[in-house]
Structure 1
Amino acid sequence: MATGCGQFFRSFTAGLKKNEPPIQDGGSRVKHNRGRSSKGGSNTVKPTMFSHKIPEARKSSIVPDTCAVKPTPTTCTQNHFLRMPPEILQKILSYLDDYSLLCIEHVSKLFNQLANNNDMWHQMYLSKYGSSKRWRPKIIEKRSLVKVQERSNGFWRRLYLRTMAICKETRWKRDLKDINPFTGLPSQTERVLRNLHVTWDLTLCDDVSGWRGTFEPIHVYFSNSSLTVCWSGEHWPSFCQTSLQLHGVKKSHMHGWRSLMVRLDRETISGSKQIIGSDKLVNLVFLPPGLLVGTWRGNSTIAFVIANFHFHRLVERSLLSSPFCSYAMPHFCDEDPSYDLHSYRLHIVLHNTVTQIMLGCFPQLSCEKGQIHGRYIYLTAIRKNEFSQHTPLSGKVMLPWRWGALQGSVENCCIMSLTLLDESQNPIWCVSTPVSMVLSCGKRMSRHYKGDHFLIRYQELEGKVKMKLVWLEEQKQFFLISLTLAITLAKVNRHFGTDATG
């Protein structure tokens, strides 16, 4: 319909030009005053509203100086649309869609008034939402009592946009109810984020010089249960004097929204940084929760930033936070004491910024009172004496990075995405974080494998993970031969609302 409107404009403009007065030799459109002459006996030429300025290079050779036409600036930019009746302009705008109307209202005051016409938005609302009783307001049901024009200007426009936003929110919440039985997480997370045009930006602040910059990601990688976002840039500040913020950004043609996801000030970064890997060019610094900062070796200037987000409540965290306050995760509590010390389900993925390295799902992880030590409940997914449980890795443990045309990879580093579920498929512990693999310097962890043995450890306030791997030189492959995780009693008690020790 917008295409037909453009064709009408072109035909209308062509008709106006066709009926214009003749053009003088110099290129000026003039009117001849017949029967009137100047003192010199020559006809006087007066500029009209259609006249335009003659180039200086051609003026002397075409028109004498005494007869030169000097139009006013206002006649040079005559707008034909201003001469059209408002009713015709309103009819033309009625063929546009909502996106075109929202754009054209910024052209001028006239178009802003026409694009907010109640009748036009009322008809658009009825055509899209009028057939559904769910979105039908009382004004439609009692239209005989309240006329459309009695509403304030822009009422139906606001109602249309608000209803459209509610419909989109209802749609993506409905899509997230589809749970993947393999991971226990919403199976449509990636599709919902892409359909909503959600992206993530990074804001860096140099607290010393006052420099501030916001950057869009250069690479986004969706794994089985998490999201990895990468940024890089030139002339970034030094790591030791930087604070950063991560926002989820919803981009649309009508409005944009930024949701705060991570905020780290300068003091927090200096107190929690931990180098987990390096190569010839960069050092990898780990910042909880789930951030990885690459700094150039020698000057500590930031080269790139990698953020990892678990799929659990990712859409809500990316959309429903404010620009200054992060999303508050809802607290799940099941007060049925029969869940106490029952079995769990573990889903774990090892990957990097490009590909997946290992995927494992371990159901029926039983928990008995003998597995409670101190303030932790220990769960064993892979035992080193159970050879059938040992899992091969599909590639080397490394983390690729990119800075412009420069590329590299840090060995013995990757990203771990872990999801621990209860018997009802409700997430208890969700982690997506960089981890490092170190060579075991003690005795060989398994006498059945000949090769170098490695350890991967991760620990936070709510739990910890320990993995044992062995490198088989003949197969050129890693094998995961042991996997144990521990979760705090306090977290289990908060989740179930019971005393796990009772």
Structure 2
Amino acid sequence: MACLKAVPLRLRAVTTSKKAAETSSKSTQNVFERLPTEILVKILSHLDASALFSISHITKLFHQLASNKNLRVTWELTVTDKAGRESTLELSWSQFSETSLTLCWCGGDCLPNYEQISSLQLHGVRRFALSRPSLKKPGRRSLMENLDMRSLTKSTQVIGQDQLVQLKLLQPGIIIGLWRDQGSVAFIMFTLHFYKLVERSTQGSSDCSHVEPVIQPPFDDIDSEYGLHGYQLHIVLHNTVCKFMSESFSQLFCRRAHISDGFIMLTAISRTNASQHIQLSGSITMPWRCEALEGAVENCCIMSLTLLDEFRQPFICISSPVSVELEKVDVSYDYDGEHYLIHYKDSDIQVKMQLAKMKKRQTVISLIVNVSVCIVNKHFSRGY
């Protein structure tokens, strides 16, 4: 009888424990919900990338950010033509992913032709609460991007197209969709990494961007490989609807003797190690929608990359559309299908991701990140 009585007691203990955990969780959420907006903004502005990864799973909090209920943050795009005329557009739609935010403004009749655009300005706008909801809320504007189209002409590239639109990548994170039969602007899309997103969206002025203070890691004059090890990489491939890949890689390193051509090489996935290869979920495409029309551009997606240093501090954060190009390679006995390459590069970093396609499934067979020696030296006060 004693054993029979003990069973329900244990069940009640487990149930009580679960209820206590749920109550504690709800209590914690309620504490955050009761915080004044200013304090919540300040808390979010100090989160690093790893913390944002964790908090991104708290759907309610990010839903509140997306719907501007608590933070009342939105984003505006100002387009200036060559005659000096300005058009300020309110956001058409936004999409939060695991580590980035995609913003889109549809053209309609408000935008000049692509060839007539002189500059683009992206502002984060913090709306003020008013006693009368019918009144248009004023806001404090924070400049996030100020792009001169003339300086971007040489680096602009077409990364994909379908029957209706052509996608032009202006610089990392910015796409202009053009109607193929007219050449006029269908939409303008910005992709922003989560790191310090709230701070960048709220802490600048209407004319100046927020300047992030530089925090140097502790200097180490003993470790000859200091700055070449202990990296953690988190990379996500996604589009505006779904996610194809989300992976983290820790303890990435490069030997000092292996520094080559001004870059340190961090190998996350080795082509020769089949156990590291990762199968993608779904076929890579970039869906778009503009007013009453929609479509999907094949072999194009968004790459969100976060590289943390050995102190788990954000080192390089990127979120940008990328194209998937057919690659000519030697015969592979492990993967006999077509091979593709995703190649991203800027002054600080180069990312090469090789994909193999078999039976309509794509597998990542190699992922190499090359980091500029200059940025490593600057960050760690080294002289490689």
TM-score (norm. length: structure 2): 0.81
273, 284, 289: which one aligns with 1:397: 284
Amino acid in structure 2 at the alignment position of 1:207 = K
Q: For the residues of structure 2 that align with 1:436 and 1:180, how far apart are their CA atoms?
A: 25
Tell me if 1:460 matches 2:334. no
Cα drift, residue 181 of structure 1: 4.8
Please list every run of 5 or more consecutive structure 1 residues that lacks an aligned counterpart in the other structure. 1-165
Q: For the residues of structure 1 that align with 2:49 and 2:125, how far apart are their CA atoms?
A: 26
Question: 1:241–1:266: 8 Å Cα contact kept in structure 2?
Answer: no
- Three-state SS of the structure 1 residue aligned to 2:200 is helix
Alpha carbons of structure 1 residues 483 and 331: separation in structure 2 relative to 1, 3 Å:
same
Cα drift, residue 441 of structure 1: 2.6
Match of 1:450 in 2: 336
- Taking only the aligned residue pairs, the percentage that are identical comes to 43
Which one has the bigger strand percentage?
2
Alpha carbons of structure 1 residues 174 and 403: separation in structure 2 relative to 1, 3 Å:
closer
Match of 2:169 in 1: 286
Aligned-pair Cα RMSD in Å: 2.2
199, 220, 223: which one aligns with 2:94: 220
- Three-state SS of the structure 2 residue aligned to 1:272 is coil
- Three-state SS of the structure 2 residue aligned to 1:334 is coil
Amino acid in structure 1 at the alignment position of 2:371 = I
Q: Find the structure with the greater CA-based Rg.
A: 1
Match of 1:357 in 2: 244
Cα drift, residue 367 of structure 1: 2.1
Amino acid in structure 2 at the alignment position of 1:223 = S
| Correspondence 1:63-142 to 2 at 5 A | none
Match of 1:200 in 2: 75
Q: Deviations over 1:428-451 (max 9, x none)?
A: 11110110001113434x320121
Question: 2:285–2:301: 8 Å Cα contact kept in structure 1?
Answer: yes
| Correspondence 1:464-479 to 2 at 5 A | 464-473=350-359, 476-479=360-363
| Correspondence 1:244-283 to 2 at 5 A | 244-254=120-130, 255-283=138-166
TM-score (norm. length: structure 1): 0.62
Match of 1:237 in 2: 112
Q: For the residues of structure 2 that align with 1:289 and 1:174, how far apart are their CA atoms?
A: 28
Cα drift, residue 177 of structure 1: 5.2
Question: 2:232–2:309: 8 Å Cα contact kept in structure 1?
Answer: yes
40, 53, 76: which one aligns with 1:171: 40
Question: 1:335–1:498: 8 Å Cα contact kept in structure 2?
Answer: no
Question: 2:46–2:196: 8 Å Cα contact kept in structure 1?
Answer: no
Amino acid in structure 2 at the alignment position of 1:308 = T
Match of 1:308 in 2: 191
Amino acid in structure 2 at the alignment position of 1:341 = L
- Three-state SS of the structure 2 residue aligned to 1:268 is helix
| Correspondence 1:412-451 to 2 at 5 A | 412-444=299-331, 446-451=332-337
Q: For the residues of structure 1 that align with 2:318 and 2:47, how far apart are their CA atoms?
A: 21
Amino acid in structure 2 at the alignment position of 1:260 = L
| Correspondence 1:362-373 to 2 at 5 A | 362-373=249-260
Q: For the residues of structure 2 that align with 1:471 and 1:416, how far apart are their CA atoms?
A: 19
- Three-state SS of the structure 1 residue aligned to 2:188 is strand
Question: 1:178–1:186: 8 Å Cα contact kept in structure 2?
Answer: no
Tell me if 1:487 matches 2:358. no
Alpha carbons of structure 1 residues 186 and 491: separation in structure 2 relative to 1, 3 Å:
farther
- Three-state SS of the structure 2 residue aligned to 1:315 is helix
Which one has the bigger helix percentage?
1
Q: For the residues of structure 2 that align with 1:278 and 1:192, how far apart are their CA atoms?
A: 32
- Three-state SS of the structure 2 residue aligned to 1:373 is coil
235, 242, 261: which one aligns with 1:374: 261
Q: For the residues of structure 2 that align with 1:323 and 1:260, how far apart are their CA atoms?
A: 5
Please list every run of 5 or more consecutive structure 2 residues that lacks an aligned counterpart in the other structure. 1-34, 131-137
- Three-state SS of the structure 2 residue aligned to 1:240 is helix
